[in-house]
A = this chain, B = another copy of it.
Amino acid sequence: MAPIRLFCLIVASTCLCAPFCTSLAPALPSKRMCAVRGGAAPLAAIKAPPAIYEAVAAAGQKKASNSVDDIFKLGVISGAQIGLGAFLAVSIGGNCPGLASANPGLQKLVMGAFGLPMGLLMTLVTGAELATGNFMLVAAAYREGMTSARSLWKSWTVSFLGNFTSQTFVVTFVRGIICSYLVAIAVYMAAGAESLEGKLAAIFFPISGFVAMGMDHCIANMFLIPLGMLRGAPITIADFLLKNLLPVTLGNIVGCAFCVSYGFGSAFGKKKQKIIAA
């Protein structure tokens, strides 16, 4: 129908146009080309388009050269991050019946804005292994002859399996661990940002997310539960300390120390490098 006819029209026009154009060699030297982006100004914080492609291929090469062990561990981490993002999207955007009936477009916008962008930001900043990211990055490295087909296959399948594995955990995860995972990853990512606005960008989604998901954080509970007690909630100090603060704190320690510090440490730590070097 219409698209087909449109397409024919375009192909025909292109054919007519091509002979005319191909005879046009770039007639002028392009010495000033480098002034476009980051040449004259010594402070570009963005790469020029060809440099982005180069960086993409180099990142793919690096990812393809990782060990199966590291790809799987970092794949589990990335899968949990994306899963948490999807969980957040369901908690916020999936819970707006008023918007969904009056303005479905806004409900979709909220669903999109709060959830997966957090998950992908966590994966990109921490260097975790996301299969759909590798589908693109390693393919670029392969196209440039910078990695082999076997490495591409390894990267794609192992990161996919790692991603898959962690999803099952997220679905059945303990609440206190999820919360402290998000607090710890916020602190972890903020350590990678070199500006105040970058640190704010690092912590905004994970921290607002754990509150929105209704998770427990031991330090915030120290304020909220005594506040409730002052206002007459029937909670004894022993209840507060033993039934809430103790288990939540232990869950927070597991989430912070084990899931974040030991997770990334097993992939990036010095200790490991000594074991390899030995």
Contacts of A55 in B (CB 8 A): 35-37, 40, 191-192
A99 an interface residue at 8 Å Cβ cutoff? yes
Contacts of A198 in B (CB 8 A): 45-46, 195-197
1/0 contact string of A94-107 vs chain B (CB within 8 Å): 11111100111110
1/0 contact string of A69-83 vs chain B (CB within 8 Å): 000100000110011
Q: Select which of B62, B140, B209, B219 is within 8 A of A82 by beta carbon.
A: B219
- Interface size of A by CB at 8 A reads 184
A244 an interface residue at 8 Å Cβ cutoff? no
1/0 contact string of A138-166 vs chain B (CB within 8 Å): 01100111111011001011101101110
| A135 lies within 8 A of B184 (CB) | yes
Contacts of A174 in B (CB 8 A): none
* Chain A facing B: main interface SS: helix
- Known A41-B47, A54-B268, A261-B136: A27·B106 in contact at CB below 8 Å: no
Q: Which residue of B has the minimal Cβ distance to A130?
A: B219
| A227 lies within 8 A of B140 (CB) | no
| B58 lies within 8 A of A256 (CB) | no
A-B contact pairs, 27 of them (CB 8 A): A2-B230, A17-B158, A18-B68, A26-B151, A32-B58, A35-B55, A36-B55, A47-B191, A47-B194, A52-B127, A53-B268, A56-B187, A56-B191, A89-B211, A96-B103, A96-B105, A112-B210, A117-B207, A121-B203, A124-B199, A132-B180, A132-B217, A133-B187, A135-B184, A139-B256, A163-B219, A192-B196
